[in-house]
Amino acid sequence: MEKFKVAIVQEAPVFLNTPESIKKAEPLIEQAAEKGARIIAFPEIWFPGYPVWFDFASKAALWEFAPPKELYRLLVENAITINGIYFKQLQDIAKKYSCFLVMGAHEKYGQTLYNSMIFFDKNGKDFWVHRKLMPTYTEKLIWGLGDGSGIGVLNTEFGVLGGLICWEHWMPLARAAMHSFGELIHVAQWPAADDLHQLASRHYAFEGQCFVLAAGTYLKKTDVIEGASSLKNISQETLDFLDSMDTGSSDVLHNGGSAVIGPDSNYLNEPLFDKSDTIICEIDPEKVIEIRMAIETNGHYSRPDIFKLEVDATPRKGVRFVNENSKDN
């Protein structure tokens, strides 16, 4: 099994502006590909940015307060849709640089926004979409709940590529489901990978006997204001609301923390905090084989005679029409 390189892009998007964020992402992807990276990961909800106002601004959850509603509209307008223009642009980028991309995005499906992880094959055609199963805390004001149809992986020439988003790493059954695919590379997307997120990422690497790319964003308040100001259809009231975010004595909202972790839970690349950069790391697949001698949670270290997990992978829609000719009848 040959060694190969992976990359994590720890940069701020052009906040709230997906077209400009794609323009920013392409040269970052190109640079990583030129350095030999074959799998390139971005942090959670990078397109067009994590809704930081819920964490740092007051009045964000009030019923009749205009700025959060306008910000939601802007997220919808900048959301990625499957086979939409932004989606196809990312497919083209993956093909152009012959790399597998793992992107975090607001995805619009139907009339609902989802926190989605989108895997793009290097061929520019195949893809996999995972929608976050359970938005956490104030995230429920933005995103719907993903269903079991998004629990899966993308098969690559290097091995199985999968991932989970943020606090899904504390859903034991979601982890067990993902371990059943035999991931070689697992992308753990975070807004920022702080100490607790590092713990969850390292635990996943050892439990799943895989390499983990913990991807976090380095985002400053000035990035938010500059990105939002690039939009023509945003009000001054909403810009003032974003400017009211309380970051204390620092301008930093998310401090990065991206890291690459081996299947023994040790760091191959130590967490990168408080700066923008791209991590490039070489992966040796044989290390996974070696550790599976001791533990293989979906094989010899499991007890299927005692424990059983059933995953309902049926796509769930609010309305289903059934007629006498339907197989559902």
The per-residue DSSP string of 115-172 comes to EEEEEE-TTSS-EEEEE-SS--GGGGGT-----GGG---EE-SSSEEEEEEGGGGG-H
Q: What Rg, from alpha-carbon coordinates, does the chain have?
A: 20
The mean per-residue pLDDT over the stretch 41-58 comes to 97
| Predicted pLDDT of residue 317 | 82
Structure tokens at 275: 């700066």
**Residue 327 reports pLDDT greater than 70:** no
Calculate the CA dihedral of residues 108, 86, 169, 208 and round it to 10 degrees.
130
**Residue 322 reports pLDDT greater than 90:** no
pLDDT tens string 2-35: 999 999 999 999 999 999 999 999 999 999 999 9
pLDDT tens string 81-137: 999 999 999 999 999 999 999 999 999 999 999 999 999 999 999 999 999 999 999
Residue 323 and residue 300: Cα distance in Å, rounded? 46
Q: How far apart are the first and last CA of the chain?
A: 49
Residue bearing the bigger pLDDT, 214 or 293: 214
Q: How confident is the model at residue 321 (pLDDT cuts 50, 70, 90)?
A: confident
CATH topology of domain 4-291: Nitrilase/N-carbamoyl-D-aminoacid amidohydrolase (3.60.110)
Please state the φ and ψ torsions of residue 128, each to the nearest 5 degrees: -140, 140
**Residue 326 reports pLDDT greater than 80:** no
| Predicted pLDDT of residue 1 | 80
**Residue 301 reports pLDDT greater than 70:** yes
Q: What percent of the chain has pLDDT over 90?
A: 91
Active-site residue, 166 included = yes
The mean per-residue pLDDT over the stretch 312-326 comes to 83
| Predicted pLDDT of residue 17 | 98
Alpha helices, DSSP H, located in the chain: 18-34, 53-56, 66-77, 85-96, 172-179, 195-208, 221-229, 236-243, 286-291
Structure tokens at 271: 């967490």
Alpha carbon 164 to chain centroid distance?
7
Residue whose pair of structure tokens reads 């009000």 in the numeric block: 235
The mean per-residue pLDDT over the stretch 314-322 comes to 85
Q: How confident is the model at residue 320 (pLDDT cuts 50, 70, 90)?
A: confident
Alpha carbon 136 to chain centroid distance?
14
Structure tokens at 109: 């499906």
| 326: helix, strand or coil | coil
- Sketch the domain layout of the chain as residue ranges: 4-291
Active-site residue, 44 included = yes
Structure tokens at 122: 């290097």
- The amino acid sitting at 143 is W
Nearest alpha carbon to residue 46 among 221, 217, 185: 217
Residue 83 and residue 247: Cα distance in Å, rounded? 38
| Set 166, 168, 210, 221: catalytic member | 166
Residue 192 and residue 214: Cα distance in Å, rounded? 9
pLDDT tens string 205-257: 999 999 999 999 999 999 999 999 999 999 999 999 999 999 998 999 999 99
Q: How confident is the model at residue 268 (pLDDT cuts 50, 70, 90)?
A: very high
| Predicted pLDDT of residue 328 | 54
pTM of the model: 0.95
Residue 44 and residue 166: Cα distance in Å, rounded? 8
Task: Kindly provide the b/e burial profile for residues 226-258, where b requires at least 16 CB atoms within 10 angstroms of the residue's own CB.
Answer: ebbeebeebeeebbebbeebeeeeeebbbbbbb
Which of 65-74, 164-173, 181-190, 314-323 shows the lowest mean pLDDT across its residues? 314-323
Residue whose pair of structure tokens reads 């943020």 in the numeric block: 166
**Residue 275 reports pLDDT greater than 60:** yes
Question: Are the CB atoms for 312 and 306 separated by under 8 Å?
Answer: no
| Set 44, 107, 168, 183: catalytic member | 44
**Residue 265 reports pLDDT greater than 70:** yes
pLDDT tens string 203-214: 999 999 999 999
Residue 28 and residue 10: Cα distance in Å, rounded? 10
Q: Please, what is the average pLDDT of the chain?
A: 96
Count CA within 13 A, CB hemisphere, residue 169.
28
| Predicted pLDDT of residue 316 | 86
| Set 11, 108, 122, 132: catalytic member | 132
